[in-house]
Structure 1
Amino acid sequence: MSTTATPRFLIDPREFADQRVLVTGETKGAGQAIVRRLSAAGAVTVAVARTALPEGESTPGFFVQADLCTPEGVDTVVRQVQDKVGGIDILVHNLGGSSAPGGGFAMLTEQHWQDELSLNLLAAVRLDRALIPPMLERGRGVVLHISSIQRRLPLPDSTIAYAAAKAALSTYSKALSKELGPRGIRVNSIAPGWIRTTAAEALVKRISEHAGTGEAAARQSIMDALGGIPLGRPAWPEEVAELVAFLASERAASIHGSEYAIDGGTVPTV
């Protein structure tokens, strides 16, 4: 497969027929790729994002604009889900990111910590609390949490709070799997490494501005902090979406309570 071209995969257009899927953090990057991948396989998708779709752009299925960092935003999503599709069969928590400044722990205020935890952990907790009970009533469903390899390999210059929140998300996901597995709900998590997204480029820019260096030097500093990527490149959003599609499908019917890294070999331990 080319290291520069967006990958293409064969898709069964009926694999997720009649399945209702909700994906958070949809308007760009991995979230957008996940919605398109599952929709192409027949799913009825509900995409959720804090910001509206860019002018002239559309998304398959339904779009809900809501801030999941607030209880009111979750209430909006629950109402819209009920009105538009009647419930959810597959829940993909892709929402996440970091807006904290570079410069290490001393640069992080109380508000930075609150924001990172709310976005990267509590948004998933809030939505799970609202949407999983109907799954339990039906005795089936799939929940996927998008964590990060930074839970094991944090970048101290710029993403301490983000890494801590993602570590908490992975632990929460494992605990949830123990509770829900016996009741018919599969729960897994995915830990991407560096993905080619606009959010990743925004991080590069923040590091560059703080360090007073060019973006090439900032990008290299991230590579150095990660210890390099043995595969030689970041992942494409479409590759993350393909892993989501597999774990959400019946092909992964016995996979439960696990976390899968998609990082090109970045994490150096077993």
Structure 2
Amino acid sequence: MTMGRPDSQEFAGRRVLVTAGTKGAGRATVQRFLAGGARVITAARVSPEVANGAEFVQADLTTPEGCETLAEAAIRRFGGIDVLVHVVGGSSSPAGGFSALTEAHWRAELDLNLMPAVRLDRLLIPKMLERGFGAVVHVSSIQGRLPLPDSTTAYAAAKAALTTYSKALSKEVGPKGVRVNVVSPGWIMTEASGHLLERIALGSGGTIEDARQSVLAGLGGIPLGRPAEPEEVAELIAFLASDRAAAIHGGDFVIDGGTIPTV
């Protein structure tokens, strides 16, 4: 994959918070904003190596306390946030359909895929509203429309809730100068994708390739012929957060290689 060199001044002076910015699409998003001249802060549960130039906070964003820790650090270090990007998400639930999902599985999916965005928005958007300026991008998933019932029911439901919440938020804050958009990826070739295949293989007793084929079959295939790369998702996020997208608000932008079969 070859992508053009970003404008190194596109986000100059902008303060950007990216959740889950140490792996996969989140890491690519951090790197994309840094390449555009932004100041970036991110968080994860542990302290891995992050992109040079990014501020890091160790916090568990599945908890209210973790979200408060990150928000307070962003305000203390940057004085506030201009761009808020919620990438954190994923699934650790077992395969086996709805009956395999316990109360704990449902709670874990909601706490990871919905509540961090709700909590951090509540903590950080009010200052955006005071300034009359800001951009928010929530990373959802095509699973909200195209769930895989064997393995992603709870994840898909949580992401659908995130998309609906985002639309409601956009109607409220848009008139006050804060833009809100959703990016809904399909299959992205990340570390998490590998873990998903492993869980499906373990639950079905098959191989990783069997799991890969089951995911492709559940998705109905990918007409483009491949999953998206993390950098491609990051580029879409950066565009929506930029001044180039100043009139784009309240939308849900799919990046799935044509996976969703309907208009």
Q: How high is the TM-score relative to the length of structure 2?
A: 0.98
Partner amino acid for 1:38?
A: F
- Tell me if structure 2 keeps the 8 A contact 1:146–1:191: yes
1:225 has 2:218 as partner: yes
2:17 to 18, 22, 31: 22
Q: Spell out the pairing of 1:160-199 with structure 2 (5 A cutoff).
A: 160-199=153-192
AA of the residue aligned to 2:8: P
Indicate the residue corresponding to 1:71 in structure 2.
Answer: 64
TM-superposed CA distance for 1:59, in Å, is 4.2
> How many residues align structurally?
263
- Percent identity of the aligned residues? 61
Q: 2:79 aligns with which of 66, 75, 86?
A: 86
Counterpart in the other structure of 2:96: 103
Name the structure 1 match of 2:229. 236
Q: Which of 259, 265, 268 lines up with 2:258 in the alignment?
A: 265
Distance 1:47 1:68 in 2: 11
Aligned to 2:36, which of 25, 37, 41? 41
Query: What CA distance in whole angstroms lies between the structure 1 residues aligned with 2:44 and 2:208?
Result: 28
Return the letter of the residue paired with 2:45. Answer: R
Secondary structure (helix, strand or coil) at the match of 2:114 reads: helix
Per-residue displacement from partner, 1:85-136 (whole Å, max 9, x unpaired)? Answer: 1110000000000000111111100000000011100111000000000000
User: What is the CA distance between 1:83 and its match in structure 2?
Assistant: 2.0
* Alignment root-mean-square deviation, CA: 0.9
Are residue 139 (structure 1) and residue 132 (structure 2) matched? yes
Q: What do residues 171-210 of structure 1 show as CA deviations (whole Å, max 9, x unaligned)?
A: 0000000000000000000000000000011000000011
SS at match of 2:262: coil
Q: Which of residues 6, 11, 15 in structure 1 aligns to 2:6?
A: 11
- Residue in 1 that maps onto 2:119: 126
Unpaired stretches in structure 2, ≥5 consecutive residues: none
Query: Which residue does 1:250 correspond to in 2?
Result: 243
Question: Residue deviations 1:48-84, cap 9 Å, x none?
Answer: 1122215xx5543201111111111112112211221
**One-letter identity of the residue aligned with 2:157:** A
SS at match of 1:64: strand
- 1:11 aligns to what SS in structure 2? coil
Instruction: Tell me the distance in 2 between the aligned counterparts of 1:142 and 1:208.
Output: 39
Aligned match of 2:204: 211
